[in-house]
Chain A
Amino acid sequence: MDRRNFLIGGTALGCSAAASPFVTPVAMAAAPWDTRLVVVILRGAMDGLDVIQPYGDPALAGLRPSLLTGEAGDAIDLDGFYALNPLFSSLMPLWRAGQFGAAHAVSTPYRDKRSHFDGQDILEAGIPDLDNGGLRDGWLNRMLQVVPGLEAEVAFAIGREQMLVLSGQAPASRWSPDARLQISPNARALLNVVHHDDPLFREASEDAIEIAEQISLQGELAEETEMMMANSPMMEAVQGSGEHIEIAEFAASRLRGDTRIASFSINGWDTHARQRNTMRRGAAALTDTILTLQAGLGPVWDKTAVLCLTEFGRTAHENGSSGTDHGTGGAMLFAGGALRGGQVLGQWPGLGEGDLYAGRDLLPTRDVRAYAAWVMHDLMGLQRDVLEQAVFPGLELGSNPGLVL
């Protein structure tokens, strides 16, 4: 904790933050914690076995002859057992800095049906199954529900995609880079006239205009983000442009302010065929996103945890079209200065004959919700019983994996 606070105090975040290395006054107004949590939902089922390749397992190469794993596929060794898919090589500097890592052989409690929609619903709802009534809210929202008096500004769902994970009774904001507010100054003044007597519309419009101004190119936060990114050597590794970059920039600009939680999704992981090519787009979007967040957050990166979760893993065997099909166990990727990266966590179940789940999938050895829960426990001070009952009903937290620094 001291190290992160010291960094905040020691850099030019703003005049108030510089007053004392142990006080972060900007934060306390919004939420009782000062750390940041970013939850990225990787929709389509990311193949954990291909992203974080257990090439030290003797069975891997035989299961995936044309996908080319380990040295044969130019993967980058991480720790002698795991190797990183080369499409993710731009994250290696973060790995070496201890700010990027993974937890392997994880899954939600979802089993056997392997439907994207149900799998994502269970992942975002954070519940054991869909048998007991329809979905009502997501686990990030239930986490907010246990903290009284939060403002909507504290949590942001970003992007056009609906984020069940943040939906529910607790106030949360939603913004899409599509929602640019284009309005002339004259029309804006007239809008005030027509909304003058309707507080609901007046306040929502004023807030909309304020947010839109903040994210417009002239906005201070955006300029600050751009300046930070221009000064960051990491940004040279960013390959693409597009919506995911805009989302990450927007997330960074909000998280530098009062926002403590942001969630958005990255699609494109459903690699049934020609996986080496079809994963390219998702991989670029994810690495660009992490690098953009790091650059855009500046000193706040050091108190940030980014968790990248997917609905399930993919089959251990490659299929007949050089891809993989829907599976069970997979990997969670994480990044951020608040986390202990440079390691792949998790108990490895093996890929040999008899090790696989249902004879086909990586066997999950831990509920992925346990990692998310421990991060919230350490990052926000949430109590164990709150996490096991309200946030993730039915979860056994188990031992602390020590993910948070």
Chain B
Amino acid sequence: MSFDPTLAAIRFGVGLSPNIAPPSSVDAMMDRLRGPDQIGSRIEIPTSSAVYPSANDHRLASIALNEVRGTDGEAAAEEHRLTMRAAGREAVGTYLRAELARAAHTTDGFRERLARFWGDHFTVRASNAISRNLISPYVETVIRPHLAGNFANMLVAAVSSPMMILYLDQHRSMGPNSRAAQSNGLGLNENLAREILELHTLGVGGRYSQNDVREFAELLTGLTASARRGAYYRSQMAEPGSETVLGITYGGREESMAHVVEALRDLAVHPDTARHLARKLAVHFIAPEPDVTMIDEMAAAYLAADGGLTALYDVMLRSDAAWGPQLEKVKKPFDFISSAVRALGVPLEVIQGATLQQTRRLIQRPLSVMGQDWQSPVGPDGWPEEEDNWITPQGMAGRITWSMQAPRDMLQDLPDPRAFVFDALGPTPPDEVVFAAGAAETVSDGVGIVLASAAFQRR
């Protein structure tokens, strides 16, 4: 078994399109990934430093309001604050449409899949309602530039992002013997340290102990964030002295972020990290129990490349085990919807021109019904991979209903189902789907049956 364009688009990309050819080879996929992020430039999402409204914008608006409370200026200041909040809500919809449009119109589908994979690997959640518009910019800032780069850079960028610091309570963590802890009585919070070891690097089966977690948590103290300053290092919060994590001693003289970065870079190229990342990628793209030899080869190539991510992808895509004909994975709800929008050929301006209300009705609420509340997985371990988590009665009701109804809300002229079955499933769709597409009573039912079929839902 080897490379197949249809499988490449469905399993490793964002699906087939009637207008965009599937990848022609592994070389072509890797070349596109190593090249410029064309769809990212064409459909922009701001980075964390350019986003509006930011946490600091909200902070300044609240300060401005408090200053004029009880005066004639109060109404205007309150109005300003509410307008800003509305802009934030609007931005969440704009970025969702942008992510959908990128998936529907890119020629570089593997990049979009990797952006979501690594965004999920470094899951953050909004810490309050007004920071919901910061998640897409977080992925744009810390994940997307590093997709074809070095894992250590992505790890450092994610861990030192204010989104991650606030989400995993690093701003509440103080060295027990730090100056700050002595004055306010707060102490160590191990949350970020534990999740970096358990989720982001070594994996839950990795060779680390509770003592490593604690020492690493002490090493991380000082790393903090606020609305005003973003992420920064505050040495008053840092635990004095050196810390030993996995047998390596860091720091000792002056506390600084450099010691944290040093430890993160070591963790990034630990053999347990290599295995954890290799296996997680293979499970995400290929099968719940992926080929063990392939994982070993991926991990070895990653270590040989000093944590270079393209080595990991390259070995996976060139492995026979990646191209088995059995479709063992199920598309998660966003991937299902975006691949359907792509297969339907919904024009860019229709996606981007949707109102916030339409976005919620056609995308955001259906995602919730299907079990994937947009950008809100339950915990820092992100969305589950198991198929029976997604293909539940309610999840299936959501998928069926969306398939039957949403396409006609997005397109005036639906494709002929007898042709659409080939647009969506490639040159050799299963006979029963070809039959059902032709046997439907209406065009929208025919299109809906194709989209709701296991053949389209799987990859």
**Minimum Cβ distance to chain A for residue B288 (Å):** 12
Q: Are B393 and A201 in contact (CB under 8 A)?
A: no
B452 lies within 8 A of chain A by Cβ: yes
B373 lies within 8 A of chain A by Cβ: yes
Give which listed residue, A113, A116, A131, A211, contacts B397 with CB less than 8 A.
Answer: A211
Q: Please give, as numbers and ranges, the residues of chain B lying within 8 Å of A198 by CB-CB distance.
A: 454, 458
Q: Are A176 and B368 in contact (CB under 8 A)?
A: yes
Q: Are B378 and A135 in contact (CB under 8 A)?
A: yes
Give the contacts of A205-230 with B (CB-CB under 8 A): 205, 207-212
Asked if A183 meets B404 with Cβ closer than 8 Å, knowing A131-B190, A175-B394, A191-B452, the reply is: yes
Taken together as a complex, chains A and B put the C-alpha atoms of A117 and B130 apart, in Å, by 12
Q: Are B436 and A194 in contact (CB under 8 A)?
A: yes
Most interface-central of A167, A180, A201 (chain B CB within 10 A)? A201
Q: Are B445 and A184 in contact (CB under 8 A)?
A: yes
A204 lies within 8 A of chain B by Cβ: yes
Q: Please give, as numbers and ranges, the residues of chain B lying within 8 Å of A197 by CB-CB distance.
A: 432, 454
Taken together as a complex, chains A and B put the C-alpha atoms of A117 and B380 apart, in Å, by 14
Q: Are A204 and B391 in contact (CB under 8 A)?
A: yes
Taken together as a complex, chains A and B put the C-alpha atoms of A180 and B199 apart, in Å, by 36
**Minimum Cβ distance to chain A for residue B184 (Å):** 11
A383 lies within 8 A of chain B by Cβ: no
A322 lies within 8 A of chain B by Cβ: no
**Minimum Cβ distance to chain A for residue B180 (Å):** 16
Asked if A182 meets B436 with Cβ closer than 8 Å, knowing A134-B168, A134-B379, A190-B449, the reply is: no
**Minimum Cβ distance to chain B for residue A194 (Å):** 4
A400 lies within 8 A of chain B by Cβ: no
Asked if A196 meets B432 with Cβ closer than 8 Å, knowing A135-B379, A181-B401, the reply is: yes
Taken together as a complex, chains A and B put the C-alpha atoms of A321 and B185 apart, in Å, by 33
Q: Mask for B353-372, Cβ within 8 A of A = 1, else 0?
A: 00000000000010011010
Asked if A200 meets B449 with Cβ closer than 8 Å, knowing A193-B435, A211-B397, the reply is: no
Give which listed residue, A162, A186, A200, contacts B388 with CB less than 8 A.
Answer: A200
B441 lies within 8 A of chain A by Cβ: yes
Q: Please give, as numbers and ranges, the residues of chain B lying within 8 Å of A209 by CB-CB distance.
A: 397
CB nearest neighbor in A for B373: A162
Assign chain B's interface to a size class.
Answer: 35 or more
Asked if A179 meets B190 with Cβ closer than 8 Å, knowing A160-B368, A186-B441, A205-B396, the reply is: no
Give the contacts of A97-151 with B (CB-CB under 8 A): 113, 115-117, 130-136
Give the contacts of B165-206 with A (CB-CB under 8 A): 168-169, 172, 189-191, 194-195, 198-199
B448 lies within 8 A of chain A by Cβ: yes
CB nearest neighbor in B for A198: B454
**Minimum Cβ distance to chain B for residue A319 (Å):** 12
Taken together as a complex, chains A and B put the C-alpha atoms of A134 and B200 apart, in Å, by 13
Q: Are B191 and A130 in contact (CB under 8 A)?
A: yes
Q: Please give, as numbers and ranges, the residues of chain A lying within 8 Å of B128 by CB-CB distance.
A: 115-117
Taken together as a complex, chains A and B put the C-alpha atoms of A130 and B330 apart, in Å, by 32
Q: Please give, as numbers and ranges, the residues of chain A lying within 8 Å of B455 by CB-CB distance.
A: 194
Q: Please give, as numbers and ranges, the residues of chain B lying within 8 Å of A75 by CB-CB distance.
A: none
Q: Are B401 and A182 in contact (CB under 8 A)?
A: yes
Q: Are B393 and A211 in contact (CB under 8 A)?
A: yes
Q: Are A167 and B449 in contact (CB under 8 A)?
A: no
Q: Please give, as numbers and ranges, the residues of chain A lying within 8 Å of B448 by CB-CB distance.
A: 187
Q: Please give, as numbers and ranges, the residues of chain A lying within 8 Å of B440 by CB-CB distance.
A: 186-187, 190
Q: Please give, as numbers and ranges, the residues of chain A lying within 8 Å of B442 by CB-CB distance.
A: 184
Taken together as a complex, chains A and B put the C-alpha atoms of A179 and B430 apart, in Å, by 28
Q: Mask for B330-368, Cβ within 8 A of A = 1, else 0?
A: 100000000000000000000000000000000001001
A353 lies within 8 A of chain B by Cβ: no
A278 lies within 8 A of chain B by Cβ: no
B387 lies within 8 A of chain A by Cβ: yes
**Minimum Cβ distance to chain A for residue B408 (Å):** 12
Taken together as a complex, chains A and B put the C-alpha atoms of A134 and B379 apart, in Å, by 6
Q: Please give, as numbers and ranges, the residues of chain A lying within 8 Å of B433 by CB-CB distance.
A: 194
Taken together as a complex, chains A and B put the C-alpha atoms of A205 and B373 apart, in Å, by 21
Q: Please give, as numbers and ranges, the residues of chain A lying within 8 Å of B457 by CB-CB distance.
A: 201
**Minimum Cβ distance to chain A for residue B27 (Å):** 33
Q: Please give, as numbers and ranges, the residues of chain A lying within 8 Å of B199 by CB-CB distance.
A: 134
A174 lies within 8 A of chain B by Cβ: yes
Q: Please give, as numbers and ranges, the residues of chain B lying within 8 Å of A136 by CB-CB distance.
A: 378-379, 381
**Count of A interface residues, CB-CB < 8 Å:** 48
Give which listed residue, A115, A134, A174, A191, contacts B449 with CB less than 8 A.
Answer: A191
Q: Are A131 and B169 in contact (CB under 8 A)?
A: yes
Q: Please give, as numbers and ranges, the residues of chain A lying within 8 Å of B236 by CB-CB distance.
A: none
Q: Please give, as numbers and ranges, the residues of chain B lying within 8 Å of A173 by CB-CB distance.
A: 392-394
Give the contacts of A157-185 with B (CB-CB under 8 A): 160, 162, 164, 167, 173-176, 178-184
**Minimum Cβ distance to chain A for residue B175 (Å):** 15
Q: Are A180 and B401 in contact (CB under 8 A)?
A: yes
Asked if A134 meets B195 with Cβ closer than 8 Å, knowing A183-B404, A190-B436, the reply is: yes
**Minimum Cβ distance to chain A for residue B139 (Å):** 19
CB nearest neighbor in B for A175: B394
Q: Are A204 and B169 in contact (CB under 8 A)?
A: no
B244 lies within 8 A of chain A by Cβ: no
Give which listed residue, A133, A167, A205, contacts B378 with CB less than 8 A.
Answer: A167
Q: Please give, as numbers and ranges, the residues of chain A lying within 8 Å of B330 by CB-CB distance.
A: 200
**Minimum Cβ distance to chain A for residue B367 (Å):** 10
Q: Mask for B1-41, Cβ within 8 A of A = 1, else 0?
A: 00000000000000000000000000000000000000000
B226 lies within 8 A of chain A by Cβ: no
B405 lies within 8 A of chain A by Cβ: yes
**Minimum Cβ distance to chain A for residue B225 (Å):** 15
A360 lies within 8 A of chain B by Cβ: no
Asked if A178 meets B378 with Cβ closer than 8 Å, knowing A116-B128, A187-B440, the reply is: no
CB nearest neighbor in B for A132: B190
B83 lies within 8 A of chain A by Cβ: no
CB nearest neighbor in B for A200: B391
Taken together as a complex, chains A and B put the C-alpha atoms of A178 and B128 apart, in Å, by 25
A195 lies within 8 A of chain B by Cβ: yes
Taken together as a complex, chains A and B put the C-alpha atoms of A130 and B368 apart, in Å, by 25
B398 lies within 8 A of chain A by Cβ: yes
Taken together as a complex, chains A and B put the C-alpha atoms of A130 and B127 apart, in Å, by 13
CB nearest neighbor in B for A210: B393
Most interface-central of A160, A184, A194, A196 (chain B CB within 10 A)? A194
Given contacts A174-B392, A193-B436, A211-B394, 11 further A-B contacts (CB under 8 A): A130-B191, A132-B190, A134-B199, A176-B369, A198-B458, A201-B396, A201-B454, A204-B391, A207-B393, A208-B394, A208-B397
Across chains A and B, which 4 residue pairs bring their CB atoms closest together, nearest first? A207-B393, A208-B397, A198-B454, A204-B396
- A residues at B contact (CB < 8 Å): 113, 115-117, 130-136, 152, 160, 162, 164, 167, 173-176, 178-184, 186-187, 190-191, 193-198, 200-201, 204-205, 207-212, 320
A sample of 25 cross-chain residue pairs with beta-carbon separation below 8 angstroms, ordered by A number, consists of: A116-B128, A133-B191, A133-B195, A134-B191, A135-B378, A136-B379, A152-B392, A162-B368, A164-B378, A173-B394, A184-B445, A186-B441, A190-B449, A194-B432, A194-B433, A194-B453, A195-B453, A198-B454, A198-B458, A200-B454, A204-B393, A204-B396, A205-B452, A208-B393, A210-B393
